[in-house]
Amino acid sequence: MIPKIQHWLTPPTFQGDEEKTIRAILIHITLLSVMGFLVIVMVGNWLGGRTPATVIGINAAVVAVCLLFFYWTRQGKVGLVSIGLVTLGIISITLAVASLGTIRTPTTATYLALVIVAGLLFDLRGFIVMTILSSLVILGLIAAENGGALPPPDLSVTITQWITYTALFGASGGLTIMVLRSPRHALRRAQSEIAERARVEVQLRESEERFRRLYEQTPLGYQSLDAEGRLIEVNQAWLDLLGYSREEVIGRWFGDFLAPHEVDSFKQRFPRFKAVGEVRVDLAMVQRAGSTIIVHIDGGIGRDAQGQCKQTHCILHDITEGKRAEEELRESEARYRALADSITDIFFAMDKDLRYTYWNKASEQLTGIAAEDALGKSLYDLFPDEAGARPAGEYLKVLQTQQPWSFVNEYRIGGKDLVFEISAYPSKQGLSVFIKDITERKRAEETQ
């Protein structure tokens, strides 16, 4: 029960709509004030015993409508409740005064509270309109009273008037205090917002300074392109890498700095980059001095509120030396393979699991097994009979000792008994094995 009461006594708030929230708070406080005032007045009416039943009924009806307004306010119907509240006020006060038969009653003074409420809800317009309207209504009541159109008034004074005036003083004073406090609250809120904004600005400046230092001092090049591919920002590392000054590059198309064979490729890739949002690519760029370098670009896209490409953010890493080393390695491997294929002796390489990683042409000719059928297969896959044979044991011995070893072994191949001298050498990857056919030499030795 208590949580529900606390819930109803707490003003509603509307996230993201400060003006609506402020008006809802004013309505909430006004409704509580009006209902509290009317309850006290009805108690005074009951104690005084001389208040017309119509007036008590009007007060009770107003309390009921205020409860409905309370519910509507929490539902967000703030504009409707604002209009309804001042309309209810002018009608109910006028009916109550008319039922009493004279404007010489405390009820007439509640027009003042209504003017304050209208000013709170509708600012200066509400204050002016309600002042004029209340004045005209009172003028009409005076004319009606003087013309005998109102019921005869009961001018006796009872405790009802004391209670009514006391409640009216309290309600009017409370509304006045709320009016006075509103600018103070607004000022404090503004001061708090200004202080918070200043704090955020300081943090933003510090963050920007940290980013600026990182951006300028990073050893990797950084560039930002606009949606057309023009350079709008580069850091010092970028300038040092390509040998330009900032004034020479800002505003220029990025393709101007690429090797000629990369330009068409960039034209095709850039729209895809903007659509996908990220890119990782190696490009050849031309330094100011004319030298060509290879850079790896890792980039992303910054978008605007509509999701369109605003600018790119790319890191450039010079991989020229690495690319040259790779090319030299490929050339070295090609020369090595050409040499290995040119020798007449059998040569093959195996990893540490005795799987073939190289198989030269002499190996193909002797065994009849093509290189593509041998590579990746183990010694035992190609030659099941070798399991437990001497060569396999010797190969494992070389792998364990990491010392080269040579031995002689006989094979029967194609119906012929052949003798081979086998030399195995350890390597980082496994073994390199040279096999030389010494059958003729062995036969010559045996005939001597």
CA end-to-end distance (rounded Å), the chain: 121
* Residue 221 identity: G
User: Hey, is 62 helix, strand or coil?
Assistant: helix
User: Hey, is 430 helix, strand or coil?
Assistant: strand
Quote the CA–CA distance of 211 and 356 in Å, as a whole number.
53
Tell me the CA distances in angstroms from 429 to 318, 330, 351, 370, 378, one per residue in order. 30, 17, 5, 22, 14
pLDDT at site 207: 62
Question: Could you tell me the residue ranges of all domains in the chain?
Answer: 2-191, 218-318, 343-447
The two structure tokens encoding residue 331: 């050339």
Looking at 3.30.1600.10, 3.40.50.300, 3.40.50.720, 3.30.450.20, the CATH number of the domain 218-318 comes to 3.30.450.20
pLDDT at site 258: 94
pLDDT at site 167: 67
pLDDT at site 259: 93
pLDDT at site 186: 52
Q: CATH topology of 218-318 equal to that of 343-447?
A: yes
Quote the CA–CA distance of 121 and 118 in Å, as a whole number.
5
Q: Radius of gyration of the chain from Cα atoms?
A: 49
Domain 343-447: give its CATH superfamily: PAS domain (3.30.450.20)
The two structure tokens encoding residue 83: 């209009």
Q: What is the value of pTM for the model shown? A: 0.40
Tell me the CA distances in angstroms from 247 to 220, 234, 239, one per residue in order. 20, 11, 10
Burial of 264 (0-12, 13-18, 19+ CB in 10 A): exposed
pLDDT at site 282: 92
Per-residue pLDDT of the chain (448 residues; tens, 9 = 90+): 566 666 666 777 777 777 787 778 877 777 777 777 777 777 776 776 666 777 778 878 888 888 888 788 888 888 888 888 888 888 888 887 887 777 777 777 778 878 888 887 788 888 898 899 888 988 888 888 888 888 877 666 556 666 666 766 676 666 666 655 655 555 566 677 778 888 877 777 776 566 566 556 677 889 999 999 999 999 888 999 999 999 999 999 999 999 999 999 999 999 999 999 899 999 999 999 999 999 999 988 888 888 888 899 988 999 888 888 777 777 766 666 666 566 678 888 999 999 999 888 888 888 888 989 989 999 888 888 877 788 888 889 999 999 998 888 888 776 778 888 888 999 888 998 988 888 888 777 777 6
pLDDT at site 448: 62
pLDDT at site 124: 85
Tell me the CA distances in angstroms from 329 to 326, 413, 426, one per residue in order. 5, 37, 21
Quote the CA–CA distance of 448 and 446 in Å, as a whole number.
6
Is residue 408 within 8 A of residue 394, CB to CB? The reply is: no
* Run of H or E including 131: helix 110-146
Is residue 108 within 8 A of residue 66, CB to CB? The reply is: no
